Amino acid sequence: MKSGRCVKCGETPILIIKSVTDLDDGFGQPMVVHRVQHFFSTDEYGQLQLYVCQACEYAEWYAAGAQEIPVAKMDNVELLWADDAPEKEAFEALGRIRKKTD
Ligand SMILES: [Zn+2]
């Protein structure tokens, strides 16, 4: 999708929605992967962006700045490593490896 061509139907162009609004709180905030609320400020990580094919309506999500997401501080994250990744063993010891199912 980031090539500008749809991965499902091959059509172009692709719409890039750079910020998708979450209206659950009634005020509307950009959807992010992780949000840390401080007394006077908020840290936001992984703002979600949506790539949409207008031809077939297929959509993909991307998390902008994914490398900055504080994975070690989050309880709802598992890491899915490729079988041949050298970093895999270090994270197995932490019990944060999800077994690949395919
Ligand atoms: Zn398409």
pLDDT tens digits, 42-61: 999 999 999 999 999 999 99
Residues 74 and 56 in one domain: no
State whether 82 and 56 are in the same domain: no
Residue 96 has pLDDT above 80, yes or no: no
Q: Which residue has the higher pLDDT, 98 or 8?
A: 8
Q: Is 39 exposed, middle or buried (0-12, 13-18, 19+ CB in 10 A)?
A: exposed
The alpha carbon of 26 and the centre of ligand 1 are apart by a number of angstroms equal to: 32
Residues 64 and 75 in one domain: no
Residue 12 zone, left/alpha/beta (φ > 0; ψ -120 to 50; rest)? beta
Domain range for 78 is 70-102
pLDDT at 97: 54
Q: Please tell me the predicted confidence (pLDDT) of residue 32.
A: 94
Is the whole model's pTM more than 0.85, yes or no?
no
Predicted pLDDT at 79: 82
d(CA 45, CA 28): 16
Ligand 1 centroid vs 10 CA: distance in angstroms?
6
Q: Is 35 left (phi over 0), alpha (psi -120 to 50) or beta?
A: beta
63: β partners? 48
Residues 20 and 50 in one domain: yes
